[in-house]
Homo-oligomer: A and B are copies of this chain.
Amino acid sequence: MYQKKLPVELECGLHLFMEVMNGKWKISLIWCIYNGINRPGELQRRIPKASRRLLDTQLSQLVSHGIIAKTVFDQKPPKVTYELTPLGQTLIPVIESTARWGEMHRNELEQLIQTPDPLLR
A79 within 8 A of B: no
Knowing A17-B99, A90-B101, A102-B16, say if A65 contacts B27 (CB, 8 Å): no
Instruction: Say if the beta carbon of A41 comes within 8 Å of chain B.
Output: no
Determine how many copies of this chain the complex contains. 2
Residues of B within 8 A of A76 (CB): none
Measured between C-beta atoms, what is the minimum distance from A22 to chain B in Å?
8
Chain B residues near A35: list those with CB within 8 A: none
Chain B residues whose CB sits within 8 angstroms of the CB of A112 once the complex forms = 64-66
A99 to B19, CA, bound (A): 12
Chain B residues within 8 Å of A33, by CB = none
The one of B3, B6, B13, B97 in contact with A102, judged by C-beta atoms closer than 8 angstroms, is: B13
B65 touches A109 (CB 8 A): yes
- Between A and B, 16 residue pairs with Cβ closer than 8 Å are A5-B120, A7-B115, A13-B98, A13-B102, A13-B104, A16-B102, A16-B113, A17-B101, A17-B102, A19-B113, A20-B113, A64-B112, A65-B113, A66-B109, A90-B101, A90-B104
